[in-house]
Structure 1
Amino acid sequence: MSIRKAVVSGSFYPDKKEEILKYINHFNSVKTNDETFENIKAIIVPHAGYIYSGFTANLAYKLLNKEDIKRVIVIGPSHRAYLKGASVALYDEYETPLGNLKIDKEFSQNLIDKYDFLEFNEECEFEHSTETQAPFIKHYFENIQLVEIVYGEIDYEDLSKVIDEVLEDELNFVVISTDLSHFYTLEEANKKDNICLNAINKKDLEMFNYCEACGKTGVKAIINWAIKNNYETKVLNYCTSADVTKDKNRVVGYTSALIGK
């Protein structure tokens, strides 16, 4: 059996189940405004260390209606491997400290067969943008099947075609992974990130041209899908690394959002 190993456990998030649950229980103990959609088709979530962005990511995961979901498609940018197009994981399982997730290999292979810009690239096995979502997915969904798509140089419209196909099935759900601007002063980060937040809220694809986010292509792809299918967006939270580090000189921004109606 082939297993996609958890390579950033112990750094981006704890490598022990109890420690991850402690984080999630703490996040859920904080009173939040849980205004949501009845039918959520996708979420946008950050992928930094849980100490920085876990609370923001968890806000989106905890609002989902898990009973309606059979398969989660997690889509994130490649940070380590250069690739044209995107890689769809063809392992049997995806390791997490909370227990392994089963990968839907047949579904994944069908996507590769259908789209010439998709392949399976083993170099993506070190990607944290998708892996940081796996413990949340395991915790909140337990027995769903996972499909992992890591993209490199790809047009958002191509990625949007894959999302179109995936979301034709009512039982599928999409997770888009992105952080926002990187390493500006807090003031600059707030300005730049505000453009992204407005672009998401207003479903304005043009505005994304002025937005800095490592997963911008994935975000544009899901917003494009939302526009075409008449779904709404709702930004849940925005925070920065400075909230934790107190360093206002080199800041990374994070947000989470819902796509639904």
Structure 2
Amino acid sequence: MSFVRKPAVAGSFYPQDPGELQRTVDELLKKATALITNDVSRDSQGRPLRQLMGVQVPHAGYIYSGLIAAVGFQLVSTLRPRRVIIAGPTHRVGCHGIALSEATAFATPLGEVPVDQVAQQYLVEHSSVAKFFEPSHVDEHALEVQLPFLQTVFRDIDFAIVPLAVGDCTPEDVCDSLQTLLSIPGENPDDTLIIVSSDLSHYLAYDEARKLDTATLSQVMSLEYPLDPRQACGAYAWSGLIRLARRVQWHPQLLMNANSGDTAGDKSRVVGYSSVAFWKYNPPEEESGIPDHYGALLPQIAREILTDAFQDDNQIGSINAISKVSASDRALQLLLRSIGASFVTLTNHGQLRGCIGSLAPHRMLGEDIAANTLAAAFEDPRFPPLQASELDQIQIEVSVLTEPKPLERFEGESNESYLSRLRPGIDGVILRRDFHRATFLPQVWSELPDVHDFISQLMYKAGLGGAEFGPEIKLETYQVQAWGEAKA
């Protein structure tokens, strides 16, 4: 039986009267416009940011955090999404995994917002952690308080929401669930907006809270995860978005940071708030890339290649990714026939199971993906060959690389200055000295966020573990687009 989820916090977190609520939201958005003074379409180094994909906003009462939230919503007001994913914590009734709602719509005093039931069902069918669990939604305010803002900035748009009450689960689980919703066949991921609802620290003295919140936001800006629930009540949802941003190379941008001591509360026990945008990050030299709706198919193609290999190992040499694509999909056929370089990574329950790739393009991308898929499964010298019994346990990630470029060292430049030009989470790095060579993909920054640790481990991988880093060691950088499988 269909039902509409009724507002739980109207009259407490925000006005219950529709007219008063609309005036409040309009006024907050008007004030927010004056606060967005920088060119938010560029990063701190002036490089263009192409597409706004998500924003983190707070969820306290409007008198406390409404203005900080409004800054984020004012920024997204230029978009025209068909779907808005709202992910936040479970303050009232917890859950393991991610709780979905069976409601057909969520109501506020401004009207009803439809729930995208098709997207929810797709997520349930393709995720091991998403399930329908209404108790986590009935009295939860974290998602509800965002709705009047969405109803205002998208008042002329037909959009639907996917409400995710995120309980105890890993960043990878949340990341995979978000990416699943961005990878629904036949849909453009740019038509989906992600909202993460989270406050920062809770009930610390003003100065102590500012110190912790500054450290937390520094971590977010570096795309370091996981966050701890003591740092942010929406840590599980936010960590998943950070993990996704690392995976697909989105760029975080701090829009505003304050706490209740700056707004309507006293300074003895404050709650911290922030608004952070997440952009598709494409500097001009990297703008030509693979559309996400095609890239999301590459891990599926790699899995089909492995399945074929186990069914007939006599045909391994003739397996090609291009043969897995319908002849009617000419654009994807042309993509796989272009010259390109790839890495294929296999993991089993989060542990590396094989990783082989090409550092430079030297054959058709389809051939490269097929060869590296098989090599990662059967020829990585660090692991025994993959067994058929493991096929259902592994996860596959396919990365497509840009052309490597030398990281030139200026005359007399110190090691510290040279290494500071590496971009954690963005640059893959090739390290060379004489006949020694090794690479780390950009994804490795998530495990080694400190540049010195990153380079030290890369030198060890290259067989230079006892050597000192110096001018005789050459670095090249490249970028990747990476797509992982949605968990079944």
SS of residue paired to 2:210: helix
**Is the 8 Å Cα contact of residues 77 and 129 (structure 1) preserved in structure 2?**
yes
Instruction: Letter of the 1:82 partner, please give it.
Output: G
- 1:220 to 2:239 alignment: yes
Instruction: Letter of the 1:240 partner, please give it.
Output: N
Match of 1:155 in 2: 170
State the Cα distance separating 1:200 from its structure 2 match. 1.6
**Is the 8 Å Cα contact of residues 59 and 236 (structure 1) preserved in structure 2?**
yes
**Equivalent residues in 2 for 1:27-176 (5 A)?**
27-30=28-31, 31-34=34-37, 35-37=39-41, 38-64=50-76, 66-124=78-136, 125-142=138-155, 143-168=158-183, 169-176=189-196
Instruction: Letter of the 1:196 partner, please give it.
Output: T
SS of residue paired to 1:259: strand
Give per-residue Cα distances to partners, 1:165-200, cap 9 Å, x unaligned: 223322111100100000010011001111111112
Structure 2 unaligned segments of length 5 or more: list them. 42-49, 184-188, 282-488
Match of 1:5 in 2: 6
Match of 1:239 in 2: 258
Structure number with greater CO (CA < 8 Å, separation at least 6) is 1
SS of residue paired to 2:102: coil
**More deviation in 174-183 or 107-116?**
107-116
Matches of 1:191 and 1:147, distance apart in 2: 34
- 1:193 to 2:208 alignment: no
Matches of 2:116 and 2:164, distance apart in 1: 12
**Is the 8 Å Cα contact of residues 36 and 71 (structure 2) preserved in structure 1?**
no
State the Cα distance separating 1:231 from its structure 2 match. 1.3
State the Cα distance separating 1:128 from its structure 2 match. 0.6
Give per-residue Cα distances to partners, 1:212-261, cap 9 Å, x unaligned: 11011111111111111111111111111112345111110000010003
RMSD: 1.7
The 1:210–1:152 alpha-carbon spacing in structure 2 relative to 1, beyond 3 Å, is closer
SS of residue paired to 1:242: coil
Give per-residue Cα distances to partners, 1:96-148, cap 9 Å, x unaligned: 11110011112112211221211111112211111111111111123211110
The 1:104–1:191 alpha-carbon spacing in structure 2 relative to 1, beyond 3 Å, is same
Instruction: Letter of the 2:67 partner, please give it.
Output: F
Higher CA-based Rg? 2
Query: TM-score normalized by structure 2?
Result: 0.51
Query: TM-score normalized by structure 1?
Result: 0.94
**Equivalent residues in 2 for 1:14-25 (5 A)?**
14-25=15-26
SS of residue paired to 1:133: helix
Instruction: Letter of the 2:128 partner, please give it.
Output: D
Matches of 1:174 and 1:210, distance apart in 2: 20
- 1:180 to 2:200 alignment: yes
Instruction: Letter of the 2:72 partner, please give it.
Output: A
**Is the 8 Å Cα contact of residues 200 and 235 (structure 1) preserved in structure 2?**
no
**More deviation in 57-66 or 21-30?**
21-30
Identity of aligned residues (%): 29
State the Cα distance separating 1:65 from its structure 2 match. 5.1
**More deviation in 13-22 or 229-238?**
13-22
SS of residue paired to 1:84: coil
SS of residue paired to 1:204: coil
Matches of 2:19 and 2:218, distance apart in 1: 37
Matches of 1:87 and 1:246, distance apart in 2: 32
Matches of 2:264 and 2:82, distance apart in 1: 38
Matches of 2:254 and 2:94, distance apart in 1: 30
Structure 1 unaligned segments of length 5 or more: list them. none
SS of residue paired to 2:262: helix
Matches of 2:159 and 2:11, distance apart in 1: 24
State the Cα distance separating 1:25 from its structure 2 match. 2.5
State the Cα distance separating 1:61 from its structure 2 match. 0.8
SS of residue paired to 1:170: helix
SS of residue paired to 1:132: helix
**Is the 8 Å Cα contact of residues 195 and 210 (structure 1) preserved in structure 2?**
no
The 1:167–1:2 alpha-carbon spacing in structure 2 relative to 1, beyond 3 Å, is same
**More deviation in 242-251 or 225-234?**
242-251
**More deviation in 40-49 or 121-130?**
121-130
Aligned residues: 260
